[in-house]
Amino acid sequence: MQYSQPLLDDIRAAVDIVDLVSRFVNLRKAGSHWKGLCPFHAEKTPSFTVNPRKGIFHCFGCGVGGDAFGFVMRQDRLSFPEAVRALAKTAGVALPDERGAKSGDSGREELLRVMDLAGHFYADTLWKPAGERARAYLEERGIDTEIARHFGLGYAPEGWESLLTFMKSEKVAEEALIATGLAVARENRAGAYDRFRGRLLFPIRDLQGRAVAFGGRGFGDEQPKYLNSPETPLYTKGNLLYAADLARPTIQSQNRALLVEGYVDCIMAHQYGFTGTVAALGTAFTPAQLALLRRYCDEVVTFFDADAAGQKAAARAEELLEPTGRGMAWAVNRSGAFEGAGTLRVKVALLPAGHDPDTFLRSVGSEAFTERIAAARSILAYALDRALVDPDGATGPRARTTAFARVALLLAKVADGDEAAQLSREAASKLGVDPTQLWIEAQRLQSSLRTPPAQSRPSPPASTAPVERDLVTLLLHSDEARATLLALLGESDELGQPSLRAIVEALRHRPDATAESLMTDLPTDEARSVLSSLLVEDRESVDARVSIGQFQRRLERSQRLRRAREASQAIAEAQAKTGVAAPMHAELRTLHKESAVVYEITGGVAQSLEHGTSTSPRSSDE
């Protein structure tokens, strides 16, 4: 289905791109733009730029860019029609009749619809008589009705086909149920059965609040105690954090996330007012989850029971410090300051032995919980404690030397420069050494540990001749330039770069279009990225008239050169066929005339023109 240009413009105008991007990226205002860490590649200094006025984003690190549609397509892996529908819905723009428009779907929308239906079915069941057992369990765990509804908790009834029967009435195909992991195909005969039976269900939602998986808790001796959705096209383990959709606004406003382990810990924290809490959905905290939090805040506080804290924190810290390609970062710059800001600091809040956030909140309360958070200590400090102590319990000069080496290695892996500096001072005083000495050793190690940037970063797009970019930028921003120059740009063969050619072609088709609305006319991601790079930073208002004049002369010159070349080629071909006396008067005249004009335009330096096409018009024309 083709959407009309005015409709696309309406949707684009109605979507606040800063708002849209902010749901995934922690944006900060920088002049008239917003900047943040790119969600499409790993980086530590923000090069992801959003221009709210034009509705365009562009990353100067990996070169990706586009408009709201492009952002949603990339972020949610949607097809273009899906992105249009999703944004139309957000923006409240009505779409023309949708029947028969499903052909552009990737199938993902149907799976999301199935998950949504299932979520409602399970939630409804929880509050019906059939859900009594689950409601009793919620009461026993102290989970309020209101918060249970807020988290969309549900109950999967007993029986093998409860959900299947309901879905049949909703005309959902069995294959879709199997694809979402809600049903399991029978092994020896046709058909399927419900995966979740007689369990309390916790919907796992993506950042837009759409259910993509379920976690199911049994009440009695059922094994396993927790049964989760398998990986599906909608759900990859370790990529999401439980309750991230609900917690995000608080995480962003407090610039801090609270990280717990279980569903109930998370729900209880929200119930007690700690609404910036997410759960890791598994015992290990994955790099993908870290990256997700890093987009929204600078600090994460996690909770450990006092007994286990030291060991667990140190182990967790070592996981975090593993060089995963984006691991190590700090470096001392020439002025002696630390670089490597924008990294996530992970802290540990201690809870009394035997407690988790759920039991602590219910027995001690929210005030004490707040105090524990305030007293949280860097997770690296635990790792440092461990590095300082000899594993064999040895003391003396030799043990001190190996402790020194262990600490230096640890410091070398710490991504945050300030944190590394603070830890090195702490360690130096404990070891009784000079902090500078320790610091130098850590730097030396760091440079040998650091992964080469070429392997950890996608390469930026090949650079294009600046003069070509200048010309296209001018065309995008000035109607006058379009009127004067578009006709002179023959078949756009003055432009070597295919993406720039595509932009000029799009302009040629719709010379009245606003620059940003050309986004949906472009054929490739690469062209969209180039367009966004030209639009995202507002051009300083150079004197358009002067530039137009310069480009006009330049283009006229190359047009004439082209004609002269064509003429001389025609002459050469004709001569090859019929001999030197071929009657080529018209062509000869053209050649003669065009060459003369070219020579005149350029003040008699015609021979340099053939090589001058990549220099700026200012330098070659004046």
User: Which residue shows structure tokens 């972020």?
Assistant: 75
Query: 446 in helix, strand or coil?
Result: helix
| SS3 letters across 501-527 | HHHHHHHHHCCCCCHHHHHHHCCCHHH
For residue 589, the one-letter residue type is: R
Is 275:326 a contact under the CB 8 Å cutoff? no
- Pick the stretch among 24-32, 56-64, 259-267, 275-283 that binds Zn ion (CB under 5 A): 56-64
Of 143, 376, 390, the C-alpha closest to 264 is 143
Gap between the Cα atoms of 366 and 369, Å rounded: 5
Least gap, CB of 64 to Zn ion (angstroms) = 5
| Least gap, CB of 460 to Zn ion (angstroms) | 9
* Residue among 65 and 131 whose Cβ is closer to Zn ion: 65
Q: Which stretch binds Zn ion (CB under 5 A): 39-47, 50-58, 132-140, 505-513?
A: 39-47
Please state the closest distance from residue 61 (CB atom) to Zn ion, in A: 4
CB of 533 to Zn ion, least distance (A): 12
* Nearer CB in complex with Zn ion: 65/203: 65
Q: Please tell me whether residue 41 binds Zn ion under the rule CB under 5 A.
A: yes
Q: How far is the CB of 257 from Zn ion (least distance, A)?
A: 22
Among the candidate windows 3-11, 37-45, 338-346, 464-472, which touches Zn ion by CB under 5 A? 37-45
**CA-based angle 270:271:272, to the nearest 5?**
90
Pairwise CA distance, residues 609 & 611, whole Å: 5
CB-CB contact of 1 with 97 (8 Å): no
The three-class DSSP label of residue 29 is: strand
DSSP notation for 164-193: HHHHHHTT--HHHHHHTTSEEE-SSSS-EE
Task: From 30-38, 158-166, 225-233, 568-576, give the range in contact with Zn ion by CB under 5 A.
Answer: 30-38
Instruction: Give me the least distance between CB of 63 and Zn ion, in Å please.
Output: 7
Residues with Cβ < 8 Å from 228, sequence gap 6 or more?
Answer: 213, 214, 215, 216
Q: Does 59 bind Zn ion (CB under 5 A)?
A: yes
- Residue 26 CB, shortest distance to Zn ion, in Å, is 14
Would you call 292 helix, strand, or coil by DSSP? helix
Residue 122 in tokens: 């399970």
The CB-of-46 to Zn ion minimum distance in angstroms stands at 10
**Cβ distance 234 to 212 under 8 Å?**
yes
Question: Which is nearer to Zn ion, 37 or 192 (by Cβ)?
Answer: 37
Confirm or reject binding of residue 24 to Zn ion (CB under 5 A): no
Given the complex with Zn ion, which of 66 and 154 has the nearer CB atom? Answer: 66
Burial class (CB in 10 A: 0-12, 13-18, 19+), 28: exposed
Nearer to Zn ion, 49 or 590 (CB): 49
- The stretch near Zn ion (CB under 5 A) out of 31-39, 139-147, 355-363, 507-515 is 31-39
Torsions phi, psi for 30 (to 5 deg): -140, 95
Q: Does 40 bind Zn ion (CB under 5 A)?
A: yes
* Identity of the residue, 40 or 122, whose beta carbon is nearer to Zn ion in the bound complex: 40
Judged by CB under 5 A, the stretch of 33-41, 96-104, 158-166, 400-408 that binds Zn ion is 33-41
What minimum distance in Å lies between the beta carbon of 41 and Zn ion? 4
Count interface residues toward Zn ion (CB under 5 A): 6
Binding mask 60-79 for Zn ion (x = CB under 5 A): -xx-----------------
Q: Six-digit token pair at 242?
A: 């439980």
Q: Which range touches Zn ion (CB under 5 A), out of 24-32, 57-65, 68-76, 588-596?
A: 57-65
In the list 25, 38, 408, 495, the residue contacting Zn ion (rule: CB under 5 A) is 38
Please state whether the peptide bond connecting residue 224 to the residue before it is cis, i.e. omega within 30 degrees of 0: yes
- Which of these ranges, 35-43, 98-106, 156-164, 316-324, lies near Zn ion under the rule CB under 5 A? 35-43
Q: Which C-beta is closer to Zn ion: that of 37 or that of 379?
A: 37
CB of 529 to Zn ion, least distance (A): 10
What the block records as the tokens of 236 is 């990859």
37 is a contact residue toward Zn ion (CB under 5 A): no
The CA distance from 471 to 551, in Å, is 7
Give residues in contact with Zn ion (CB under 5 A).
38, 40-41, 59, 61-62
